[in-house]
Structure 1
Amino acid sequence: MPRRSHVPGREPVQHDGRVDFEPYRGELTAFCYRMLGSVHEAEDLVQETLLRAWKARDRYDPARASVRTWLYRIATNVCLTALEGRGRRPLPSGLGAPSDSPEAPLTPALDVPWLEPFPDARFDVEARADLRLAWVAAVQVLPARQRAVLVLREVLAFSAAEVAAQLGTTVAAVNSALQRARAALADVRDAGAVVESDDPEVRAVVQRYVRAFEAADVPALVRLLADDAVLEMPPVPLWYRGSGDYGRFLERVFRMRGAGWGMREVTANGQPALAAYAPTPGGGYRRHSLQLFTVADGRITHNVVFADPRVLDAFELPGEIPAGGFRRER
């Protein structure tokens, strides 16, 4: 069951009169995820936040701030501490030029702390443009305090005075940091132009992709791509730009793994995604990867393929599916 997010303005109270912190877990996890780019770290930091809040519960003063504001102050400080001395979490496209060789070695870079997807089904948080993978990737470039100001002001709609109190700084400093953060993200593609995952046109594109992928029909897959579509595959630092190279890489995949894949539709970061299961010699399916799509103007413009088992575990996907397990879904 997903954890319910708190509705601002309604303070959950237990039968003994104490405030219940648990309903805030989902939205705090989304906040920490935006800050760190990792759902695993976000969950750990939210646990630390709630533990600190519980230990300090007798010192909480409702006359000074709502519980929600107080929790975000704790969570912000926890995140800033966690980010000290760290680099950003990138995607492969943020580290270098695209490859032009579909036969390039698929060697994972396990020393890179890659950006992770956000498993929507596990957390009851509002699907917003600021959970989009491209937006979270762009925010990772900002200094930690600018990142906090941007998320607290632009995403969570705290006032400049509230953010100043949360960060222990001045309103003028908050406004200056917000201005710099906005300027740094000015070139990020407008997330509002990206159609929602439950849009009928988007679903139709994804379902056509499913049928073509299961059939290993590369020409049909390429027809669903924008001309400049991007394919990247963390933890492999390799990525491709253009439907031609994308298609040639898929030909390699099917040559290596064969046809007869199974696909399950999920969502991640508020975007359409597919859990891909490769065929096994016994006729069943083994969990292979998560493909997270950006769809615009009826075409797939970006596909980030995550193959790290730890990332896939966060989506609570079965590792094996028996033969016939995808017949109902096709």
Structure 2
Amino acid sequence: MPCAGCRDDVESLDFTMAFQPIFDAEHGRVWGHEALVRGPGGESAMSVLGQVNDRNRYRFDQDCRVRAIELAARLFPAEDDLRLSINFMPNAVYEPVACLRATLAAAARVGFPLASLVFELTEDERVDEPEHLVAIVDEYRRQGFTMAVDDFGAGHAGLSRLVDLRPDLVKIDMHLVRGIDTDASRQAVVQAVVVMASTLDVVVLAEGVETEAEYATLLDLGVPLFQGYWFGRPTLEALSPVHPRAQHPELDRTSHEAEPQPDEPRHGDDARPVEDRPGLRRDGDGPRDEGDDQQDGTADDGTRDGAAGLSAHAPTVARPAHQGTSYRRLLASCGPFGSTQKSSARSSSRPPFR
């Protein structure tokens, strides 16, 4: 039975997807890619998101999922076991089971494994009925999807969502990442998030990383997954290679001179103001972007390039004491992290990251 949002008289918007890599520092490889909305000719996400309204929101949300899955099935090498991260609009999901039909049908048609799908819930989209959001997450997890909270540390009820939804993954907002190599306050906050996530068996991803110094500091803090312009820029209907130094197990914080920075101010995917970021990331509805979420609203050419070198010595920060216990076990069960299953009681209902 169709849900309230299903309407045949709503036209689809014209758009496509760009893909930005997510890097697994624990194993020195690409963990997956996030699908980010773009205009058909590579126009910014906002050129598409600006056309989304209450009438076409549901159709757009559905079309974004299908388009991302179809492209990923064509682009992802089967042997690489990559994840596809898709932003979704909770307010476009009227009935969790019915609203998944197009997603499941698309995955079956192109042979894309459901266990490789990650759905990101942006913190910038207000949800008036928390119970409805919990029902969505429960159904998605039942289907075998990985659930993520995007822009953690910004937007609506960050800690409440972490407790109520118990996601598999949290993506630390770029505002906390920017300049973390020289900011003790940001280091303290991120370290606290890592320790808290360790206790809850949640994997942490830092988004919006623009410099090697930020990357090195976040590694010291115990963050295992990364996304941002330093690693790779969003690429239209193609996969971007990651920065060659990202694959080095140990970064030298002192021997590299800073590379010249472009004249343009930081903006775009990694530094876009919250009000300009689409929440769906496919960019879908609300705001959000990471390096370019699906819906980031900025052109790909305005942000600082990922080749930025070190401009200052990144301080070494002690890793949280929890690392080495539950957090390490969790990493062992995540995607390329290994095959170990989570030991918590939730393991039966939460998909391993394979």
* TM-score over 0.5 (shorter chain): no
Question: Hey, which of these two has a bigger chunk of helix by percent?
Answer: 1
TM-score, length-scaled by structure 1: 0.32
Q: Which has the higher contact order (CA 8 A, sep 6+)?
A: 2
